[in-house]
Chains A and B, each alone.
Chain A
Amino acid sequence: MSSTTTSSTTSGSAIGTTPVFSVEGLWKVFGPKADRVPADPELAALAPAELRTRTGCTAAVRDVSFDVRKGEVFVVMGLSGSGKSTLVRCLTRLIEPTAGTIAIDGEDVRAMDRTRLRELRRHRAAMVFQHFGLLPHRTVLDNVAYGLEIQGLGKAERRARAAEVVAKVGLEGMEHRRPSQLSGGQRQRVGLARALAVDPEVLLFDEPFSALDPLIRRDMQEEVIRLHREEGRTMVFITHDLSEALKLGDRIALMRDGAVVQLGTPEEIVGSPADDYVREFVRDVPREQVMTVRTAMRAGDCGGPGHPGALAPDEVVADAIRVVARSGAAACVVEDGRCLGVVDHERLLGVVAGTEPHKEAV
């Protein structure tokens, strides 16, 4: 029912193909007798306001399907009330889904019993929260070690491991402070460290930086990018901030009223919006920062031997502009020593102006 567009291209290099999370037809309906809503095709097709008046129910997540691939940063993005936070809580059943399937590494999450589910939460998926969710009566070190304590690890061992993680997120020397003595950014580093300490397969972030100042938010985004580069851990990242989504996401699922409106790489979302809602959403995005030269180039071999400029196809248009402006001539797009196409002033300006021929979404 949603006009979901799935990308066929993969971006990034370290990303495999086995899905870590596989979500299929997921529903979360709040309200009396919630079960009947997904089951009844007529009710399922209703608009949110109508559904509320007819049944008194609210569908926070409507028929959502996606795969999270190993090693990618999968961003779920939407305005407040779009159901993204509910969605991420359904993944580890902090909120019990109403219908649909969730699988982690092929194992059915909804069929898990309590012990198995606890195992999942303890070892496989750890979450970072918007308001940090730290225990105010514990020191930084004990907060970070908390997940390990829950697992039943001895005091010395868990503290040693926690100390390592604390150092990794840049909080050395603050081990014995309490959360109340830290700044917002530092608190979220503790939240991040607590999630990292259990060495999970997937990190789930629920709008982790929305409560932070813009400058600190940028630092924390850099921190996440650095961690991802160093460890290649799979991440599911919830945000309402489009620039954050574009900056961090390998792929983005854009949600509206509980449904996924479009799912694709940042470039696909910005370059070929699925509908007017998405188009309106991405209107003010600086396109040259998102679109790659692969999209901007005029395909075909340049013919010459020198390949002037020699841009990689994944480079963003802003970089290409710098190269072209410096040399004053068109530049080649080169991959594996082969020329894929050429970008010139006209093509690059077209991207900035948003008038380049749209690549149709598949």
Chain B
Amino acid sequence: MATLTATAPRTIPGALKQPAVRKLLLLALVAAILVPLANARWASGAWPDALTVDLSEPLARTSDWIIDNRDSHPLFLYFFGHISNAVVLSVRAVYLVLLAAGWAGVTAIAALVAWRVAGVRLALGTAAGFLTCGLLGMWIPTMQTLALMVVAVLASAVVGALLGLAAGLSDRMDRALRPVLDTMQVLPAFAYLLPVVLVFGIGVPAAVLATVVYAAPPMARLTALGLRGADKEVLEAVESLGSTARQRLLTARIPLARKELLLGLNQTIMMALSMAVIASVIGAGGLGDRVYQALASVDVGAALAAGIPIVLLAVVLDRVTAAAGERLGTERKSPVHWAYALAAAVAIAVAGRLAGRLDWPEAWSLNIADPVNRAVDWMTAHLYSGVPVVGGTAEWAGHFTTWVLDPVRDGLQWLPWWSVLLIVAALAWLIGTWHTALTAVLAMAAIGVLGVWQPSLDTLSQVLAAVAVTLVLGFATGIAAARSDRFERALRPVLDVFQTMPQFVYLIPVVALFGVGRAPAVAAAVVYALPAVVRITTQGLRQVDPAALESARSLGATSAQQLRQVQLPLARRSLLLAVNQGVVLVLAVVIIGGLVGGGALGYDVVFGLAQGDLATGLVAGAAIVCLGLMLDRVTQPTERRTKKGA
């Protein structure tokens, strides 16, 4: 198709010379032929029934078969069974070790590790973080989550590093893995839950494996990137000294990739935490489960008490691993100090044991649930509605639903199905290549074939509304931050914290403010996606060639002209990337919003899990995958994005 347009005759009028116009014309031509045909055959607004394939029957049979054979079939007995047992045993072992160390021991060990790899300030922060977890009465769930995390992160890091090593050393492996890893990065976490539940059932093994599948890709990507990105001349120098391939790998390539490896580990840990919390839906237990239960009964206080430890854990893990990466190679750490640190930690743990204070003392717990709930009640009473002039939060949510979400959803569902496909094709082709357009259209069509056209469009309407809000706020904030150093400095720590928080946590405050429904899901998605959009926008605008800006200034351009005529056009690629990231991140949270009344696909997944109706859940999961693919491809600029923002 691309070649067709390229060889168009030279005498075409000026407008036709623009590739965008040519693409649209060609598309219109294709549509003019196909649409009447399709319309004549399957005239209907929604996806025609004739074109759907009902998968629930075979899926239900598959799931029944698996449930029936889980204890007898050799595949489960000798393969999945062993994996499952190994996971359960190792999580249990780590959990017991953590409990045996006691709260004093765990805090001391964590603080000392942080001190050795990241410095005194982070060590104090780590200790404070752990003590706060105890103070909130969440010590046991924190340890449960931590045990699950330790096992999942270790497994993810090993799997990811091995895949990355393969992709880093073999070009063929790289070509095969890269599209898979890229696609996995854009899929919402929820999509990973059902396949593992199908195989392992609800429980810790499923939770750990879903976490591994979700968290291993960044490690694999960054390992491959590090191995491939090594300075060519250094490798040549190493080869010129007569090294063997093994020596090259061990003494040069892997050490040269240390920064990427640690960054990969950092991202893996963050994604694992995010998933370990979400996986409470499939039996992960721990902090996520507390949040999940609390949200189910709209008990914001209890949700917050479990949510704060999650955030603390995320911030501590992120800062410590990131600081370890930055401090790489600046100083030699003597093993003696490590020995001291270890001895001190063991001493504290033993002291805690001897004092008989293994469990966090009941008397030291601070119950924040009640005061928080009182505050929420007060908010419900005073802020929800009837606030003079501005109106209440519930009113906002209601207005947003009736004025924005409903019209968008109804509009989408009213559109004939083929026109939705056409819009998708046109957008994807204009922004990307005909490859991305084709994938996007096929993914959208697959949603129709799966028979979940209506709920998918519902989800899509929420995504579109959330993305629109995110982009308006994000671009405005990003432009402001790019123009004012002061503002950017003030903004940076806020963005840092927001970007480290797991998706799940965002649901807590929005439920407190807006109650349940579609509007709070959208609000959570906006808050989650905003930091990445702001950051990419700011970076893109700041990276604009200073010489171009200077020349515009020397010609007497006003700052508005500079922004409109120089900065924004030159930062086009970053802005498109911001849109892409915004869409991907928004989708992830809109889906999770199914837990707080967002409905649509996310609700189908939760419903499927809760009711044991795996068929419904799996179909919804597949639709989420397709929707994710479609949204990513539609907004994908010609070049691949670098990494996920969260």
Contacts and interface: CB of A to CB of B under 8 A. Distances in A.
A130 B255 CA distance: 22
Contacts of B34: none
Interface string A142-169: 0000110111000000000000000000
A23 interface: no
Nearest to B245: A114
B233 A178 contact: no
A146 B251 contact: yes
Contacts of B71: none
Interface in B404-427: none
B237 A137 contact: no
Given A137-B256, A137-B258, A94 B251 contact: no
Interface string A178-196: 1010000000000100100
A121 B236 contact: no
Interface string B232-269: 01101111111110010001100110100000000000
A149 B240 contact: no
A47 B68 CA distance: 75
Given A150-B243, A150-B247, A133 B256 contact: no
B258 A133 contact: no
A194 B255 CA distance: 19
B234 A135 contact: yes
Interface residues of B toward A: which range? 20 to 34
Interface string A124-148: 0011011111111100000000110
A122 B233 CA distance: 17
A131 B241 CA distance: 16
A131 B242 contact: no
A130 B242 contact: no
A77 interface: no
B329 A133 contact: no
B239 A94 contact: yes
B242 A122 contact: yes
A125 to B, nearest CB: 8
A222 interface: no
A121 B240 contact: yes
A149 B238 CA distance: 11
A121 B234 contact: no
Interface in B208-247: 231, 233-234, 236-244, 247
A15 interface: no
Interface in B260-283: none
B241 A146 contact: yes
B234 A137 contact: no
Contact of A120 (B239, B242, B244): B242
A149 B251 contact: yes
A87 interface: no
Contacts of B231: 131, 133
Contacts of A94: 236, 239-240
Given A135-B252, A137-B255, A151 B242 contact: yes
A92 interface: yes
Nearest to A143: B237
Given A118-B244, A122-B242, A133 B255 contact: no
A127 B240 contact: yes
B242 A133 contact: no
Interface residues of A toward B: which range? 20 to 34
Q: Choose among B244, B251, B328 the residue with the greatest number of A CB atoms under 10 Å from its CB.
A: B251
Contacts, number: 73
Interface string B322-345: 000000110000000000000000
A177 to B, nearest CB: 12
Given A135-B252, A136-B329, A137-B258, A150 B237 contact: no
Contacts of A191: 237
A178 B329 contact: yes
Nearest to A130: B233
Contact of B237 (A119, A120, A133): A133
A146 B240 CA distance: 12
Given A136-B256, A137-B255, A146-B251, A129 B237 contact: yes
Nearest to A200: B241
Contacts of B252: 135
Contacts of A261: none
A198 B237 CA distance: 13
A126 B240 contact: yes
B251 to A, nearest CB: 7
A130 B328 CA distance: 26
Contacts of B244: 118
Contacts of A134: 234, 237
Q: Choose among B239, B240, B244 the residue with the greatest number of A CB atoms under 10 Å from its CB.
A: B240
Contact of B233 (A118, A119, A131, A149): A131
A194 B252 CA distance: 15
A133 B251 contact: no
A320 B444 CA distance: 87
Contacts of A198: 241
A262 B252 CA distance: 39
Contacts of A120: 242
A160 to B, nearest CB: 19
A150 B240 CA distance: 11
A198 B251 CA distance: 18
A130 B232 CA distance: 12
B103 to A, nearest CB: 38
A130 B241 CA distance: 16
A135 B255 CA distance: 9
Contacts of B236: 89, 94, 129, 133
Nearest to B241: A147
A147 B237 CA distance: 10
26 contacts: A92-B240, A94-B239, A117-B242, A121-B239, A121-B240, A122-B241, A130-B233, A131-B231, A131-B233, A133-B231, A133-B234, A133-B238, A134-B234, A135-B234, A135-B252, A135-B255, A135-B256, A136-B234, A136-B329, A137-B256, A150-B247, A178-B329, A180-B329, A191-B237, A194-B241, A198-B241
The 5 lowest CB-CB distance pairs between A and B, nearest first, are: A133-B237, A121-B242, A122-B242, A118-B242, A147-B241
Given A150-B247, A204-B240, 20 more contacts: A92-B240, A118-B243, A121-B240, A123-B242, A129-B233, A129-B236, A133-B233, A133-B238, A134-B237, A135-B234, A136-B234, A137-B255, A137-B329, A146-B241, A149-B251, A150-B241, A150-B242, A150-B243, A178-B329, A194-B237
Interface of B: 231, 233-234, 236-244, 247, 251-252, 255-256, 258, 328-329
